[in-house]
Every structure is written in C-alpha cells, then in structure tokens.
Chain A
Amino acid sequence: MAENPAAIAEKEAKLLSIISSDILEIGPEFAVTDDLFEAGLDSMSIMRLLIQVETAFGSRIPVAQVNRENFSTVSKIVALIPVA
C-alpha cells in the first residue's frame, strides 16, 4: 500500500531536522533530495543516523538495504522506513 504524500513529507521533515540538529552540518536550504554523502555523511555518522531513525520511527532498516544509493538522500531513506 502506498503511503500518502502528506505522511511522507512529514517523515522527511522529521528526518531532515534530526540530521541537521545532530548528524551533519547542513543549512536550512538543504533539500530532501540533496546528496547526504556530499554533505559529509560517512560510515561513522551513519551509525548515529541509524540509531536515531530507529528511535524516531520505531523501526530498524534491515542491513540488506544499507547501501550508498539507498542512503544518498533524505527521501530515499524515508522510503526505506516500514509503514507503521
């Protein structure tokens, strides 16, 4: 079942705010489609990102889905979060 656009946008905004307050130094102009690795995401910061995603959304992204492509933008990460 596809999630409704408003719910997706809400999740994206929540994840973006987590990333900007705790994970990466990104400005207010940073978009949900901008590249997180170019903004400094690396194998150390992704550990905290994964933990924060679990805390905020109540579900863990399986290891099989962890790759550079899937984690390159906020939108793509949100698409991995199972719908509650």
Chain B
Amino acid sequence: MISVRSLATDSKNQQKADVIVAGGGTAGIAAAVCAARDGAQTLLIERRGALGGMACNALVHTLCGLYLLRDDDTHPLAYSNEGFPREFAERLIAAGGASSPVRMGKLDVLPHDPTALAAVADNLTRRTPNLTVFLHTDLTRVETAAGQIQAVQLRSQGCAMEVSVKSLIDASGDAEAVALAGADFEVAPTDRLQRPAYIFGIGGALENALAGDARLKLAHLISSAVTSGHLSSEALGVAFRHGMGKSEIWATLDLQADPYDPCLPECLSRVESCGRRVSLEIIRFLRLHAPGFENAEITRTPLQAGIRESRRVSGVASLTGEDILHGRLGENPVALACWPLELRENARGARLRFPTENRPAGISLDCLRSRTYKNLFVAGRCISCTHEAQASIRVTGTCLATGEAAGKAAAAFSK
C-alpha cells in the first residue's frame, strides 16, 4: 500500500475522503465538483488519462438532453437542468469547446469538441477547493461492513492504496463500484442491450463533401461496395456528421457485435478490433471513391469504443420508460430527463420515442441510491432505471444532472 500526499489521514494513519467518485465521465465530473462545493473532501478517480468518459475518450461529440423539448424554434430554448449542466455547457461554450445549440430534426443539441471538454473539466476540477483528481487510477475493491461501504482500494501504475470513505458515488458508466461491492444490479438481455459504436474523426475532406445529396450518394457507394465484397458488412452501420467546424467530419460506426456482452473482456476486445479494422477500410474506400474525400484521413481515433448500456444499479426506486413517455415528474425530482427514448438495439440506426407533449420526467434521489448499501450513490448511465428509460437518461445532459444530484446527496450524507 502506498500513501499519497494529497489525501488526508485519520488517527490510525489511514488515508480518507468524505466522498469518492469512481469514474470521471460527465456524471463523475458533475458529482465530484458538486460534492466538493458542498464541503465534502472529495476524491475523483478515473481509469484513463482524461476526464469526460464517453464524451471524450469514445469521441461522442454532441451533448444531448441539455434543453427542454420543443415543437419548433418559435418556442424559446430553455435548459432542462439549470444547475451544473447549464454551468458546464456555458463554460464549454465560453472556452470555445462547444459551438452554439443546433436543431437536429425535432431536437436541440450542443456539438462539442471531445478534447476541449476534457480540458474544461481539468480546469474546473483543478480550481475546485476540497477536490482531488487522480487520473490513471482504477477502483479495484470495495470494502463493506454493517450494510455500508467502509473503504475502497485503488490501483495506479502497479501501486495499491486504500482509502476509507463516508460515501461512494459510482459514476463508472458500467456500475463497476456496484459490482465490486456486491450490490444488486441488473443487465438487459444481450439481444436488447443498446449496441456499441466506434467513432472516429476524419480531416482533410472538402467542406462540401457532405453537402446537398452527398450523404445519400455516399450511402449508395458504401452499400454497393458491401454488396460487391469490397467493404465489410459492418460498414453499413456508419453515419457521417460534421463536427463543430466544417473541416472535421465524425464517422459513427454502429456495431451489432453479436454475441454482445459489454462486461466481458473478450467481447470488448472484439468490438475494439472490429471498429479499428472497419474504420481503416472505410477511410481507404472513401479516398478512392468518394468525391471530396480524396485527401481525407483519420485524424482522431477513440481511446475506447463507445458503450451505450451495460449494468444498471438496482436502486431504492427505478425510473421506467413509461415515466419518461408520460413526462411524470414525481415527488421531489432531483434531476429532469427530457431526451426521448433513443433505442439502438441493433446497428441499423436509432428509433426515437417522444414523451407526451414534450414533458420532462423527474428522476428521484431514490433512483440514485443503491438498495443494498445506503452510502452508495450512482450517477450517469448506470442509475436505477429500466432498459427503456436508460435509452433516455444515458445522454450527457442528463448524466450531468444526475451527477450533480448524487454529488450533493453524497456530500450531505457524509456530514
């Protein structure tokens, strides 16, 4: 065991924190900053080298769920969660890491730059008193006794450290802390899990490479190449979209990945290598055959394939798809979900289910609390909800909101 200077110690020289946040995605960033602002000595740990989770490392490049739904743009645009989600979006815009909101079909979204999002999170967490961030650090064990989490074991660069904790927030996306603690969780049947995707960035294409009917013509080129055997069939899962500026194009390659189990290393390995292989096939093909892509190249590769859904904690309460579709506010909601159910149970694109009259649904604190351990909170895409509801609440805007709520609740619990 090693000890780290930035952590406080108790009378027995054990390192301690009031709140530990496991996972530094959008939910973990929000949870850690908000817990620390409420006075809790907070430690945010993140396995990879950057904060942001999927919205940085998997190259997700659009923040969804930040704004209330509206029929058309004659209605004013309004944030669905005024607290930390709004603050974070505004910081990102001010730093040039996000453009301004864009209307996509019936939805308003905020395109962002994945690296800039991580930098804004670095800056914000560094300037937040009471907050320590450890990157390249993995939560590896959770010690429990008497129905509570007592301590956690962390591992970084071959060194283990033990930290006692008053409350733990699982913002790992995959409910890893929940699983390590032996707390209850659920996973959808493998054929229903939302499918993963491999996102990569393309630079060097002409600015009009996606203009007018170009996207449909690209679809024709790719589908012909798949039929003739010049591209792998997985290429049929690709969609192209401009980044914040017209000079960058994002390619999102939805993968069927059967048999799919995002908690198994052999499956994740298969997804990563398939995404890598097909992304290279696609760029070679585009350079040779697609007008405007003659000098295109892959400018960004993801640090990990994008995982939309895996474990969900079993909480004190559980949000359902019906709650979202009927816009049920419930009593004392701590966060609002306002994204439609975005079902991606296969690699053929999204099916959207909109809530009645665009009403947002309330998420109660009980959906952010493990039913097994009372000092275990959960935020982000693995909160307590059904598979259907997860298709709405997984978006980053809602993750920021559940992060804020979990952070405040964990800080209050630790007092």
Which residues on A are within 8 Å of B, measured CB to CB?
Answer: 25, 42-48, 50-51, 54, 60-61, 63, 66-68, 71
Contact = CB atoms under 8 A, between A and B. Distances in A.
9 contacts: A44-B219, A44-B239, A46-B223, A47-B220, A48-B223, A50-B220, A51-B236, A63-B220, A68-B213
A51 B227 contact: yes
Contact of A44 (B221, B226, B238): B238
Most buried by B among A42, A54, A68: A42
Contacts of A68: 213, 216
Nearest to B218: A43
Interface residues of B, number: 23
Contacts of B236: 44, 47-48, 51
A47 B226 CA distance: 10
A66 B213 contact: yes
B96 interface: no
Contacts of A51: 223, 226-227, 236
A50 B237 CA distance: 14
A61 B224 CA distance: 10
Contacts of B348: 44-45, 48
A78 B409 CA distance: 59
Given A47-B223, A66-B219, A66-B220, 10 more contacts: A42-B239, A43-B219, A44-B239, A45-B349, A46-B223, A50-B224, A63-B224, A66-B217, A67-B212, A67-B213
Contact of A63 (B212, B221, B226): B221
A60 B240 contact: no
Contacts of B246: none
Contacts of A42: 239, 349
Nearest to A55: B227
B136 interface: no
B126 interface: no
Contact of B217 (A48, A54, A63): A63
A72 to B, nearest CB: 11
Interface in B185-224: 212-213, 215-224
A15 B156 CA distance: 57
B351 interface: yes
Given A66-B217, A67-B216, A43 B239 contact: yes
Interface of B: 212-213, 215-224, 226-227, 236-240, 254, 348-349, 351
Contacts of A66: 213, 216-217, 219-220
Given A51-B223, A63-B220, A66-B220, A44 B349 contact: yes
A51 B223 CA distance: 7
Nearest to A50: B223
A44 B237 contact: yes
Among B213, B217, B221, B223, the most chain A Cβ lie within 10 Å of the Cβ of B223
Contacts of A45: 348-349
A60 B224 contact: yes
Contacts of A67: 212-213, 216-217
B108 to A, nearest CB: 18
A44 B350 CA distance: 10
A51 B226 CA distance: 9
B9 to A, nearest CB: 54
A73 to B, nearest CB: 15
Contacts of B224: 50, 60, 63
A51 B222 CA distance: 10
Contacts of B349: 42, 44-45
A27 to B, nearest CB: 14
Contacts of B220: 46-47, 50, 61, 63, 66
A62 B385 CA distance: 47
Contacts of A25: 351
A44 B237 CA distance: 7
A54 B227 CA distance: 10
A45 B220 CA distance: 11
A52 B236 CA distance: 13
Given A25-B351, A42-B239, A47 B219 contact: yes
Given A25-B351, A54-B227, A60-B224, A46 B213 contact: no
